[in-house]
A and B are shown apart, each in its own frame.
Chain A
C-alpha cells in the first residue's frame, strides 16, 4: 500500500458559465521515504497539484473529482478541523519564495513554536528547545539567537533553511516542496537541495519536489512525473527519463536545457505556448506544439502505456511499440 495515492484527481475553477478544468484525471502514488519530482513548464498545473493534495486551493479552485488517500485514509472528504490536523503534521510544505513565506511581523521563534503547539500539547520552553534543535539540524549557525530574530534579519538562503526546519518540526511523513530553490541564488540552491535531500533520507520522509528545472530533478528525485496542460504525460525513474525521454514534450524540455545547445548557438526551445485553460485543444493537449502530431492526436487523447522505460501517454510511442510487438513475440517463441 502506498503512503499517498492520488486517483483520477481533477481540479476545476468555478466560473459563471462553465467551470475551467485545471487538472485532468491525475493519478500518482508515493511510497514511504520516496523522492518524487513533478516537472513541467509554468502553468502546467504542478503547483496546483501540490496545493490540491493538502486542500489549499485558492478560490475559485476546487477538487471536482477523484480521491486522495494518505495511509489508506480518504482526504477529500475531511472537515477543515481534520485538515488542520494533517497539514504541518503529516504533510508539510515548503514554498517557493522564502522572502514572502514567513510572516514579517512575527519572530522566527513565534512561527516555529506556534506550529508545534498547534499540533501537540507541549509547554513553551520545551517547544522552544525543539525549535532550536531543528534550526541546528538544518545547519543554521547560532540557532538560539536566530530564534528571537525576525525574518527580515535573515538572508534568503537562511530563511529557506528556517522553513525547512519548520517542515521538520513535527516529523511529517511527506514534504511537498514547491520550487524551493527557484528564488535563491545559484550557489545557495545547491546547498539547499543537498540539505533537503539529506534530511529526507535521514528521517525517512517522502518528498514531492515541484520544479521546472531538470537539473534540480536529477540531483534529488528517484522518480519523475512530467506534466503538461494539467495532465501527466510521462512518469518513470528519473535517470531513465533523463537519458531516454519518451514523450515529445519531455524531449523538448530536456532539449531546452542550456547545456544542450552548442556554444554560440541559439538555445533550443519548444515552439508555441501552453494552451490557456479556456482554450484547450482537442485530443492530446500537446498536439499543436508536437513535431510528430497526426490526425488521431487531434481527435482522442492517448492512454498511458508502458514504453519499456517509462509510462507515457503518446500515440507515437504507442505506434512504435506496436510496430515492434510481433518481433518481441517471435523472440519469446524462440
Chain B
C-alpha cells in the first residue's frame, strides 16, 4: 500500500510540474511586466536596465527555474489588485469553495445512490421512470438556469432563503472561516449547493443505474440468490460494492467538473470563493492571481484523483499491491 501511494505521489509531482510550467507561461507571456510596473513615462534605457535587473532577458528555462524556486518557497507572485501575495488571497477564499463543493457532493451522494439503485432494481416502476426523466432534464438544463430558477422561487417569490453571499461565518481554530456551524451560514449554503447538486446528480443517477443493472445480471449475484441471501444484503453489499467501482472512477473526474461549475455558481450567488475571485481576476487582468488559481485548481485535481485511486483500491481488492493484505 505504501509503495502504491508513493508511486501515485511521484505521478502527482510530475503532473504538478507541467501545470506549473503552463502557469509560468501565462504569467510570463501575458502582457509586459515592466510596463505594468513603471507605466509609460520612462525612457527606453531605463526600461532595458530594469528588464536586465528583473532577469527578463535570461533564457526562458532559467526564468522558469527561478519561478519554480520561488513557488516551492510559497511565493507565486503578488496580486496587482489586492497588493498581497496571491497564495494568501486565494487561501482566504478556499474554505468557501471547499464547503460549497463538499455540501454539493453530499447532496449528490444522498440523492444519486438511493435513486440510481432503486431505478436499477425496479426498472418498470413509475418512480424509476420519473427519476430517469428528471435526470435527462437535469443533464440538459444548464446550471445558471437552474440557479436563477431556484433563486427566483426561494429568495424572491417565497423569500425563505437568502439569494447571495455566504452569511455569517465562524472561525475554526483561527484558520478556517466556516459557514457550516451556524444557521445563517447553512441557510446561505442551501441554494448554491442545491444548484450545483442539481447539475451533477443526474449523471450519477444514470451511471449508478446502468452499472447496477449490469451487475444485477451477473453470475455472482445470481449465485448470491442461490445461497439464500436476503434481498437487502444482495442489493446493498453484493451489488452496490461492485457498482461503485466505475462510479468512483467517474466520480473522481466529475469532482474536477464540480470545481469548474463552482465558478458559475459562485458568480451567480456572489459566493465569496475561489471561483468568484477568479472571475474578478480575469476582468481585472490580475495575471499573477489567474496563474496562481490555475496552480491551485491543478493541485485540487491531483489531490482528489490520488484520493480516488486510494479509495478505489480499498473497495476493489484486485488492484491492491501483492504483499499487502
A105 near B223 with CB under 8 A, answer: no
Interface residues on B, range: 20 to 34
Q: Does B219 contact A (CB under 8 A)?
A: yes
Given contacts A100-B218, A100-B219, A103-B238, contact A150 B229 (CB under 8 A): no
Contacts of A84 in B (CB 8 A): 228-231
Contact of B228 among A58, A87, A103, A107 (CB under 8 A): A87
- The residue from B219, B227, B315, B317 contacting A115, defined by CB atoms under 8 A apart: B227
Provide the bound-state CA to CA distance between A150 and B223, in Å: 16
Residues of A within 8 A of B122 (CB): none
Q: Are A103 and B317 CB-contacts (below 8 A) given A84-B230, A115-B228, A166-B227? A: no
Any chain B CB within 8 A of the CB of A88? yes
* Residues in B whose Cβ lies below 8 Å from that of A58: 217, 222
Task: From the candidates B219, B231, B242, name the one contacting A101 in the complex (CB within 8 A).
Answer: B219
> By CB atoms of chain B within 10 A, which of A86, A102, A114, A119 has the most?
A114
Cβ-defined contact, A101 with B228, below 8 A? no
Q: In the complex, which residues 73-96 of chain A have their Cβ closer than 8 Å to any Cβ of chain B? A: 80, 84-89, 92-93, 95
Interface assignment of B83: CB less than 8 Å from any CB of chain A:
no
| Cβ–Cβ < 8 Å partners of A102 in chain B | 220, 223
Does A257 lie at the interface of the complex (its beta carbon under 8 Å from any beta carbon of B)? no
Q: Which of chain A's residues have a CB closer than 8 A to the CB of B228?
A: 84-89, 115, 118-119
Q: Whose C-beta in chain A lies nearest to the C-beta of B241?
A: A105
Q: Which residues of B contact A86 (CB under 8 A)?
A: 228
- A251-264 Cβ-contact flags toward B at 8 Å (1 or 0): 00000000000000
What's the Cα separation between A54 and B227 when bound, in Å? 10
B242 and A105 within 8 A (CB): yes
A106 and B237 in contact (CB under 8 A), knowing A86-B228, A87-B228, A118-B229?
yes
Contact call A88/B241, Cβ cutoff below 8 A = no
Q: Which of A172-216 contact B (CB under 8 A)?
A: none
- B237 A118 Cβ-Cβ under 8 A: no
- Residues on the A chain within 8 Å of B175, using CB: none
Asked if B219 and A105 sit within 8 Å, CB to CB, the answer is: no
The answer to whether the Cβ of B226 comes within 8 Å of any Cβ in the partner chain is yes
Which of chain B's residues has its CB closest to A149's CB? Answer: B325
Interface readout for B222-247 with A: 1 if CB under 8 Å, 0 if not? 11111111110100011001100100
User: A95-B219, A105-B242 are contacts. A150–B317 as well, Cβ < 8 Å?
Assistant: yes
In residues 304-325 of chain B, which contact A (Cβ within 8 Å)? Answer: 315-318, 325
Given A114-B233, A150-B317, A152-B318, check contact A101 B227 (CB 8 Å).
no
B136 to chain A, nearest CB (A): 25
| Cβ of A104 under 8 Å from chain B | yes
Q: Are A56 and B222 in contact (CB under 8 A)?
A: yes
Are B220's CB and A114's CB within 8 A? no
- Asked if A97 is at the interface of the complex by the 8 Å CB criterion, the answer is yes
**Residues of B contacting A166 in the complex (Cβ-Cβ under 8 angstroms):** 227
Please state if B220 and A103 are interface contacts (CB–CB under 8 Å): yes
Q: Which residues of A contact B231 (CB under 8 A)?
A: 80, 84
Give min CB distance, A307 to chain B, whole Å: 36
**Cβ contacts B208-223/A at 8 Å (1 or 0 each):** 0000000001111111
User: Nearest-CB distance from B63 to chain A (Å)?
Assistant: 50
* B-to-A contact residues, CB < 8 Å: 217-231, 233, 237-238, 241-242, 245, 315-318, 325
